[in-house]
Amino acid sequence: MKKEYSTGESWNSAAIAGLFMALLTIAAELVASLCGKVNGVAGGFLAFLAWAGKLVACAMMFRYLMRKFHSSFSGVDYPAMQRYGLKLALFSSLVVAAYSLVNILVINPGTIDEITEVFRTSYSSIMDSNSEAALEKMMPKMPIYMGIGTCIYCFLWGWLYSTIFARSIAPNDPFSDTEDTIDNQ
C-alpha cells in the first residue's frame, strides 16, 4: 500500500537515499583512486574506465532511488519528482564533500603537498616570485576550496540526473484535471 505524499516524507526519504547515494559515490571514488595508482598508459586507461563506471553506477543508483520513491508514494507528479531528486542530490553532495574534506585533512594529509608539487613542476617556467607567494597563501585554504568544489560537482551531476530521470519516471501530463486551470476559475 502506498503512503500519501507529503513534503516531510519527501525530505526524510531524500536524506536516507542521499546517504546511500553518497556511500556508493565514495566507494566508486575509492575504486577509481586505486585504479589511478597504476602507472603508464594502462593506468590512465584503467582510471578512465573506473571514472566512467562510477558515473554509470551513480546514474543507475540515482534512477533506482527515484523509482523507489515514486512507487512508495501516491500522488507524486513530475514537479515533486524533480524536487525529490534535487533533495537527494543535495544530501548526497554534502556527505561526499564532507568525506572529501576528511580524506584530504585526515586520511591522506599529504595530498595537498602532492598537488602543490605537481603544480610547481608543471608551471615552474612561468611562475615568478609573486606567483609562488600567492600559491603559498592559497595552500592552507585548498582543502576548503576542494570540498566546496566537490559539493558543487556532485550537486550538478545530481541535478542533471534528477532532470533526466524525473521526466521519465513521472511524466508531466498537460491534460490532467487540476484545480489551477483557467477553465475551473
Sketch the domain layout of the chain as residue ranges. Answer: 3-169
Grid look-up 491534460 returns 175
**Angle, to 10 degrees, between the axis of helix 78-102 and the axis of helix 40-72?**
140
CA distance 81 to 76: 7
Q: What is the pLDDT of residue 80?
A: 87
Cell triple for 174: 498537460
72-105 pLDDT, tens digit per residue, is: 888 788 888 899 999 999 999 999 999 999 988 8
CA distance 31 to 52: 12
* Arithmetic mean of pLDDT over the chain: 84
Q: What is the pLDDT of residue 173?
A: 64
Least confident segment among 55-59, 113-117, 179-183: 179-183
CA distance 40 to 45: 9
Cell triple for 153: 560537482
pLDDT > 70 in the chain, percent = 91
